[in-house]
Every structure is written in structure tokens, then in C-alpha cells.
Structure 1
């Protein structure tokens, strides 16, 4: 707010007085030849002290006077904060006083009050003060369940510029002239996150509020916020939450997120189906999963997962858990499990004993296993195709020598990175170069020194230069543009083949791998030669 002309005149008189004092003190310093350095410091200190005192007094009087029209306002909405004066430096040029105060306000939002909020440097700064603020608000939202609704003030103009839904609500042809809007289907935290984006251009997402915020962004058609929510979910996607996120992606009609979820579920189906969140999916999502042709899982695992879901559904419907109630809540989903494709022993010891399928169905499935003339059954009889494994090769050729490659419990290791998300299933390893031999092996996958998966097993080599697959118990998710360490520690008396003419970069199934030497390799493996010739993965 510009100062009145009379006050500015007084201000410049003070400045001229300071200038005359400063000139006199400098002349006195020049005449003093005994200790000019100390005298100069003393003079400058006096000037700074006097200038600081006069400027602070002058500005304090201006702020105090400018605050007078607001003295009758509610103290919750208006206060004069003298702390803003502290940022005025004693040696600042007088012409920059106003800009110094403005800088203080813009950098310290907590100091803003009703008499200085408008001095924010940018529109964003000024709007930020109005976020969740009753000052000048012209609409109030009652957000959340009826008995626990939270009152949230807002400003129609800000909301209308950020959402076509709010524009139609406030300024459209069918706009209602109301100052309170009931919004029972949105969580208060999510609604505040939506408003904060509109007022401040800031997005604060957490695992707890991201789904509710996505719902609010979809409801009020705020596409950038919705996109940010989806990207957040994609970054946090894992086998543990893939099924429930799949359910939400159906609800929100997000095909990209849906595809990401399917990639994880297909490759890590056993972990995904065993997660706690699996029992929370809706019936339609359950049926989509049970229909999936590319699930990389045993049918018995699917059966047990379906029983867990049915148990939870009985609790949700207040039903006593019995074989009949489990069968009832599953409905047609039960007939999507490919029970006849299980080994006979698994069927007999698990499904047949569960009581979930009828006696007639049990008899017909047993006949399906054993009889020459098989009865018709409702369950699918075709094996799932599962996922096709892919392999990337590190070396262009292999060789063997009389003194290489020996194993005495030392580690062969290589580092790799990929350009898109994949799932590492295991490694291909070289075997004996002098006839059949058995090796004990420990394989491990690390990221940043942290072990993601390992497996202790054995494999038999037939003496050829072929590679032998050694896999992890479950595929491991690998993110793009991050280096991982693949390690293998073999124990065996026989010499083995080794790779040579190594590649620093190799592409397989549209996935590009980059390789570099690992400091953990103590048995000679590197980019140019050694062990771990192949990485086995799902893309």
C-alpha cells in the first residue's frame, strides 16, 4: 500500500539528515591519523546503529497506521506481525525497503495476515494464503460422513478456474445460489489435498490418501492431479498391493495402471494371491484374476486364494463360515478354477476334502483323471498358458581351459540395469567342461547392497557348453535405470566352461540390458568374461 505524500516527505527529510551526519563523520575520520582503521569501523557502526533505529521506528509507525482500519476484525483473521520488520537489514538502501518487506512476506507464509497477504510476489503466493481460510470465502463444503462432516471454506473463483465441475456448479446455467455444499462421498483429507493443489499448485500424496484423492480428482475433473495420483500408485506398485490396485484401476477406469497391475500379478502371482490385500478385492476383480490365462501360478494356489477370499466375504456378509456358505459367496467364480488340471494327489488331499464342491462334482473329476470315457464337468480342463520366459545373453562365445574355471566357494558377480520394468526369474549358469558333474550353488539378487532374493540349490551339468537354469522361488521385480547385482557362488570340483567376448549392452524382447563389473566378484567374472552368461526374466 503506497505511503501518503506527507509521510514520504518526512521520510526523505530523515534520509537527508542521515546523509549529513554520515558526511561529517567521514570527514572526522579522515582527519584522524592515529588509528584510521579502528576509527572507520567505529564510524560505520554508529551509522548502522542510527540508521537501523530510525528506519525501524519509521516502518513500525507506517505498519501501525496502516493496520488501524482492521482493528475491529476478528483476531483469528487479522493481526499485525512485527516480526516482518526483522528482515530489514541496517545497510539496505532506503529505496529497497518495500521490496525487503515483500520478500519477507513471500518467503515466510506463516507471517502473512489480512493486512499483508496481498503483498505476495506471485499469484500463487497470494492464493496460498486463502487456502482453507474463511477470509473472503464465499462457499463452505461439509465434507465426509454426515455425523463427522468437516467444514472447509473455499472461494468459488479459485475452484471454478481449476475444475470444469466447480465452474458448472457455481457459474453454469444450472448453478445453485448456495453457500453450503454437502459432500459426503469424499474424505476430508482428500478434499483438502484437492484444494491445496488448486490454491497452491502443490500435491501432497501419501499411501493413506492417494486413492481417496484420486477419487476426488476424478469426481471434479482435475486431470493433472489424477495423473499424479496414478503415477504415485505406479511407483508404489508391488505384488503385495497389485490386486487391490487392480480393483481400483477398474473403478477409476485407468487402463495404464490396470496394465501395470496385470504385469505384476502375472509374473508374481503366488505372492500377489497370498497378500493380505487380495481378500479385499471385489467379486468382478476376483473373477478377472481367476480367468487370467497368463497367470504364472499353480492351480492349487489359486484354489486356496479363492477360499481365503470367500472366508473374508462371509465375514463381510455376516455369514457363518461353512463349505456351503463359501460356495455360495464364490458363485460362478468357483468354476473359473481349473481344478482338473491339478495333479491327482493335490486334488484328492485339498479340493476333494474341502466340501466346497459337491459329491457329484468330486466323483466326475476323479473319473476325469482315471476313466477312459470322461464325464462332462463344468470346470475348465485346459492348462493355463502362463508367462513365457525370456533370456538375455551376455557373451558371444564360450570356452574352457585346463586351469579355468574353478570354484572354491568364491563369488561370481555382475551388475546390470534395464530400460523398463521386468521380473528376474533366475540365471543361466555354465556347467562342467569334463563330463557330468553336480554343483551346489547359491544365487542372489541385490539392489544397493540389499538382498532382494536368494536361493540355495543344486544343478547337474551334463558336460556340454549349454547353460543350466537356476531360478528364484518367486520372480523379482526390477525397476528401470537402476543397477542390480546378480551373484552366483558355486561349489564343485570340476572345471567349467566360461563366457568370453562379453557385451556391455544387449537387447532381448524389447528390453535393453546394460552390464558393468561388480566389486563383489571375487572369482574373476566381469563384463568381458566369466560366469552368469544369461539372465532369465519375464517382460
Structure 2
């Protein structure tokens, strides 16, 4: 009867294998070796199964009477006589003591262990390495298909990571029993299911007791579900490695994945910004990307901890760090960029930190410059600090009026107020200081009285140059707040009105501010019978720069027939969008001097982007105009490039016309990141070096056109600061 069952089962399975081979002919056609292998598999499967059943039949005949009474009717009912087959006469049944030989020889009668821990008993401790201290090396008995034979741990399992099956297992290398060996393999569940969703449902419904035992049921389609804390990467396919062509892809599959993880991080909780999150990781990958992680896991003082608390890092930022280490991929989110920079600095991952700084530099504006300055001081990023100072100096009023200004620390607050180059009125700085003090009172949960504000401001109040305000600004502003004492208020009024001025505890010298620089795009101006006419039309020119600057205004030509008044509208656009405009008036004395018209606030100009400068004048029709225009001008350490604009309807272009000057605040220093020479003087655009490789540098104000250079001709006699260094 048992033989009949064996023949039926083997023939049934053999038929299925044969049918599969036929149906898969498209995959096996022309491959004689594969077809031969399939045939051998069918034959080899039938033979061992038949011999194994014969062994069982021989054993059961020892108690034939008990067997017939207890089991015989059942088998007689289920299996008909035609399935029975006699034992071949020339084949001798093996004795019971030889069953182990058959078992080991064919591997088909080997019963699976009742739990994963039984499977570990035959393996040496210490991670299955070649030696106990190997910490995860490959042992001779290690299964090469470990991902198939050892499925993945469920999140509800108490055994959180590899090596947890045996708490006494440790490794002198810091691996602590983790690695490729069986003794360090993860808790697992073998799941028969038809989809990933069903696999997850099966895990949640399966008891996790019994040291991570296998949970198997009948079925031929087996799936292995990887369940991570917050990752849905599909490693359910037993042969998932075959679908990953590169090491990077295989490492990426392990990102935020429980599979083979040997450490977990409990991240967040200190600032209550994000909920605490448990993130699985792999020590080897972390150690290869960070010296801090290497010292933590494999250094001389390494501790074999399965869980590591990281309360001072946001979970999102920590995942961004791990994504870079696993996937070589950087995904920065604006709301978490500072937290990511902190994580990169903490674990010494300089490339990620550099990417964060570059991102911040691109996104830097007057609205966030003060807060980023505070953070860059904390992170010790001098280049980012320098960029922040450039923005704050040029757009100080906008910066101190931003919402983020009140959140900066006291030292940053004092450094801003003591800045000599701020382009801002003192009354605006005083108002910003009051807002900062008000916010500080709210944070400390104290009343926002003038006395408390004064106490919180401390010496920072004396950095505001109140004596340089106008009398009206002081009387209607500062004197009304009650921040100053009665004596200080009296002394200040005397300073404004009396000849004998009292000594004050505040600086009396105005701030120097930034020095404006002027880019001249014409080498001369003209006055002929066919003089330039305005007639209310638009004069426009496009320009770009190679370094970030701040446009302050334009220089314009005036009347060529005597004194005249002009109404003027200036605009600055980018891709058709107006960035700034100003309607004002200016007086022309009839000379060739240019007249400067300014915007209300400086406008930040990004490098390698074209902007459109436009002007419409209404007044005396006849005026001077520029000629011998240049398409490229080197001013200080900034290179300007010009091209004609389609918006120009009055004849202005690169070679001649209006808008002879662009007034701007330039970079205060030249850094190694932005200049190849680290020299304050830039290399000529036309190239060329002196003998011996020394760079040929030009004086500030040098102009370049079509690869040639020449000195700027200030033919208008305006006496402007051509060099941008304060000289005239």
C-alpha cells in the first residue's frame, strides 16, 4: 500500500515536472543540457522516494498486526489495489540501521528542524565564521542559499537581529555573532502565500514564540516576505540577488531592511519633532562609510550592542544619512536639511555634509540668511558663513525683518549688530532687536516689559548705533519704547541738539556699509547730430554673471542739450518675471555724466542665469548714448556677459545705446570653491599665463571683449568707483 502511494506520488510529481518542461519549451528549446537535466531530475526524484518508502514499509511490517488494525483500513480506503506494485525481486530491502545512510545520501527524508535554534546546534558560535572570532565569515557548513533556507524576521519577533538567538554568542571583531553563519541568522518565518500582502497578513497572524520557528503549510509556491520597520523593499523572491546587477543595487535593497540586519537604531525623541523610530541597519555597510560607525562597531572600545539610541537626530535625517551610505544617493528635503547636515557632521560623512551646504547656498535668501548663519557657526562651515554674510550685508533690512531672525542665538545676534558693513538704517536694527527680545521673553515665559527686554538684550543693545539715527527716528521710535533709561534718553536728545554733547554708551560713527561697484559696458559715449532719442520707448539689455552679486541700480545717460528733468522707470526681470522695479525722477545737468537710479532693495543675482535690465525714460528726447560696447566685461572678480534683448524697442543693444552701467555689490572674497587661483584678482577671460605658469592678473575694472582686454574708459567723467574698492 505504501509502495502504491509512492508510485502514485512520484509519477504525479514527475508528470508535473514533465508538463512544466513542455510548457516552458520556449525557455528550454535549443538547450539540450537543460532538457537533459530535467529528465535526470525526474528519474532521480522517483528512485530515492521509492527506496525511502520501502524502508518505511519494512519497518512497519515489524508490527504488522498493530498496523493493520490501526492504519490498514484507512489506506485500504484511500488507495485502490491497482496502485499497488510488487517489490522487485532483485532489490533487497535495507535494514533499519541503514536508514541514516539513505537519509544523508539523498536528503529527501531529512525532517526539518522544529525550530531555528535546533538548526544552530550543529554550528559553532560566533557567527559561523572560519574561527569563533571571525565575526561572520563563511564556514564550511554555512548554507550558500541562506536567503532561501532562512527567511526573514517578522517585526513582532522578540529576536530583533541576527545573533540574538544566542545571547552568549560574541565576536572579538565587534560583530557579536552576526554575519553569514547560521548561528547569526535572523529570526524567520517561512510563508506559503500568493502575494506580498498575504505574506504580511500571515506574519501578523502567526505566533512568534518558539525562538522564531518555521511556520509552513501545504503549497508549492513559497514566498519569503521581508518586513522592515519603514521599508517595503521587496526581497521576498528567494533569488532576489539575481535581479540586482550591481553591488550598489544589492546594497540598496538592504536599506532600512530587517533582512540580515545586525544592529538597530532607536532614533529621535529629544526634540519631539518626529516620533521615535526604530531603524534596522548593517554594521559592515555603516562602517565602510563612516569612521564614527567604524569606531563604534569595530574599534578598540567597541561594544556589542544590538540597539543604539540616537535621540538627538531626527528620524528623517538619519534615514537620509543611511540612504547615502547604502545607495550612494542623496535626497534632501528642505524642512530637514539642517537636521541632515547635523547628522552628516556627527558621523563624519563629508560628502553628504558638502551636499547639504551646497543646497543651503543655492536656497540662501535674505529671509533665511540669519538663521543659516547661526547654524553655519554651529556646524563650523566657513564658506556657508561667508555666503550668509554677503547676503546679510547687501540685504540687511530684509534679513533683520525676516521671521527667522528672532530665532537666532545671542552670539549670532551680537555679531550681526556689530557688523561694520551692514547696508541698513539703525532704526531698523533697533526694531529687529526689540522683536528678538520679545521672542526671548516668550520662550522664557516672562513678561515682555521694557526692563526684561533690556536685561535680555544685555550688551547687544550698545552695539546699535543710536546716535547715528535722525532726531525724528529717535524721538518717534527709540525714545517711546522705554528701553533706554531716563538719563540715557536725556543724553541722547542733548547729543542731537546741544553744541556740548555728552558722552554716550553707544557708537557715534556710522557704519561704513558696502562699497558699490560699477560695471561699464561701453568704452565711450557719443554726441552727434543723430543723437539718441527716447520717445517713451523701452531700452533693454540682457546680462549674466559668473558669481553671485546684488544689483543695486543702473547708470543712465541724460540730456545732451542742456539741463533737463526725467521721469524714469527701471525694471529687473528673470524669465519674464519682474524681480524689482522703481519709478523715480532724476535731474540731468546736460553733461555726459551718467546718473544713478537705484532700486529700493538690492536684488540677488544668481550665476549663469540671464537677467533683463530695462528702462523707460520720459523727458528731453535728445541724450548721450554709449558706443564701442563689449559683450564681456571683467569687473573685479566678477565676469559680466551681455546680449541683446527682444524687449528693447528703442535701439539699445550690445554695441551701443542706453544703460551704460550696472551698479552692484560684489563678493567680498574669492574662495577656492569659486575661483581656480585663490587670488583676489581674477585671471583674464582670454586665458594665457606668464612664463613659469604664473597667472596673468588684471587690475579691477578691466574689460574684455571677444577675447581681448583693455582698460575701461570712464569717458563720462562721473568719478564713480570703477574699481569697486572705494577709490575714485
Asked whether the two chains share a fold, i.e. TM above 0.5, the reply is: yes
**CA gap 1:244/1:67 in 2 versus in 1, 3 angstroms:** closer
Aligned to 1:323: 450
1:523 and 2:650 are equivalent in the alignment? yes
Take 2:152 and 2:251, find their aligned partners in 1: how far apart are those partners?
A: 21
Aligned to 1:140: 264
State how 1:143-182 maps to structure 2 within 5 Å: 143-145=267-269, 148-182=275-309
State how 1:280-359 maps to structure 2 within 5 Å: 280-359=407-486
Aligned to 2:500: 373
Take 2:252 and 2:331, find their aligned partners in 1: how far apart are those partners?
A: 14
Take 2:388 and 2:377, find their aligned partners in 1: how far apart are those partners?
A: 11
**Deviation at residue 370 of structure 1 after TM alignment:** 2.5
> Would the aligned equivalents of 1:117 and 1:129 in 2 still touch at CA under 8 Å?
no
Aligned to 2:539: 412
Cα deviation digits, residues 10-56 of structure 1 (max 9, x gap): 97996899459xxxxxxxxxxxxxxxxxxxxxxxxxxxxxx9xx9xx
Take 1:198 and 1:73, find their aligned partners in 2: how far apart are those partners?
A: 22
Please point out which of 219, 237, 255 is paired with 1:131: 255
Any stretches of 5+ residues in structure 2 without a counterpart?
Answer: 1-16, 43-107, 109-144, 156-187, 196-231, 667-728
> Would the aligned equivalents of 1:67 and 1:80 in 2 still touch at CA under 8 Å?
no
* Secondary structure, counterpart of 1:209 in structure 2: helix
Cα deviation digits, residues 462-520 of structure 1 (max 9, x gap): 00000000000000000111111000011113311111111111111221111100000
Cα deviation digits, residues 357-387 of structure 1 (max 9, x gap): 1011111112222233322211011110000
> Would the aligned equivalents of 1:437 and 1:494 in 2 still touch at CA under 8 Å?
no
* Secondary structure, counterpart of 1:499 in structure 2: strand
Take 1:513 and 1:417, find their aligned partners in 2: how far apart are those partners?
A: 6
1:188 and 2:312 are equivalent in the alignment? no
Take 2:355 and 2:263, find their aligned partners in 1: how far apart are those partners?
A: 27
**Deviation at residue 70 of structure 1 after TM alignment:** 4.3
Aligned to 1:266: 393
**Deviation at residue 143 of structure 1 after TM alignment:** 0.4
> Would the aligned equivalents of 2:153 and 2:258 in 1 still touch at CA under 8 Å?
no
Over aligned residues, Cα RMSD in angstroms?
Answer: 2.9
Take 1:113 and 1:437, find their aligned partners in 2: how far apart are those partners?
A: 82
1:116 and 2:243 are equivalent in the alignment? no
Relative contact order (alpha carbons < 8 A, sep ≥ 6): 1 or 2 greater?
1
Please point out which of 598, 604, 621 is paired with 1:477: 604
> Would the aligned equivalents of 2:152 and 2:258 in 1 still touch at CA under 8 Å?
no
Any stretches of 5+ residues in structure 1 without a counterpart?
Answer: 1-6, 21-50, 59-64, 84-108
Take 2:528 and 2:252, find their aligned partners in 1: how far apart are those partners?
A: 72
Take 1:274 and 1:142, find their aligned partners in 2: how far apart are those partners?
A: 39
**CA gap 1:80/1:254 in 2 versus in 1, 3 angstroms:** farther
**CA gap 1:79/1:457 in 2 versus in 1, 3 angstroms:** farther
1:500 and 2:627 are equivalent in the alignment? yes
> Would the aligned equivalents of 1:440 and 1:457 in 2 still touch at CA under 8 Å?
yes
**CA gap 1:312/1:72 in 2 versus in 1, 3 angstroms:** closer
> Would the aligned equivalents of 1:434 and 1:494 in 2 still touch at CA under 8 Å?
no
* Secondary structure, counterpart of 1:514 in structure 2: strand
* Secondary structure, counterpart of 2:536 in structure 1: strand
**Deviation at residue 123 of structure 1 after TM alignment:** 1.0
Aligned to 1:277: 404
Take 1:81 and 1:537, find their aligned partners in 2: how far apart are those partners?
A: 69
Cα deviation digits, residues 278-297 of structure 1 (max 9, x gap): 11111111000000000011
**CA gap 1:72/1:245 in 2 versus in 1, 3 angstroms:** closer
Aligned residues: 468
Take 2:150 and 2:409, find their aligned partners in 1: how far apart are those partners?
A: 58
- TM-score normalized by structure 1? 0.82
**CA gap 1:152/1:114 in 2 versus in 1, 3 angstroms:** farther
State how 1:196-207 maps to structure 2 within 5 Å: 196-207=323-334
Aligned to 2:162: none
* Secondary structure, counterpart of 1:465 in structure 2: coil
**Deviation at residue 81 of structure 1 after TM alignment:** 10
> Would the aligned equivalents of 1:79 and 1:114 in 2 still touch at CA under 8 Å?
no
> Would the aligned equivalents of 2:575 and 2:611 in 1 still touch at CA under 8 Å?
yes
Cα deviation digits, residues 191-241 of structure 1 (max 9, x gap): 000001011111110111110000000001111111110001001001110
Higher helix share: 1
> Would the aligned equivalents of 2:148 and 2:239 in 1 still touch at CA under 8 Å?
no
* Secondary structure, counterpart of 2:586 in structure 1: strand
> Would the aligned equivalents of 1:218 and 1:226 in 2 still touch at CA under 8 Å?
yes
Take 2:404 and 2:30, find their aligned partners in 1: how far apart are those partners?
A: 75
**CA gap 1:246/1:68 in 2 versus in 1, 3 angstroms:** closer
Take 2:520 and 2:390, find their aligned partners in 1: how far apart are those partners?
A: 23
**CA gap 1:271/1:73 in 2 versus in 1, 3 angstroms:** closer
> Would the aligned equivalents of 2:565 and 2:620 in 1 still touch at CA under 8 Å?
no
Take 2:386 and 2:287, find their aligned partners in 1: how far apart are those partners?
A: 33
**CA gap 1:452/1:133 in 2 versus in 1, 3 angstroms:** same
**Deviation at residue 111 of structure 1 after TM alignment:** 4.9
Take 2:567 and 2:457, find their aligned partners in 1: how far apart are those partners?
A: 45
* Secondary structure, counterpart of 1:537 in structure 2: strand
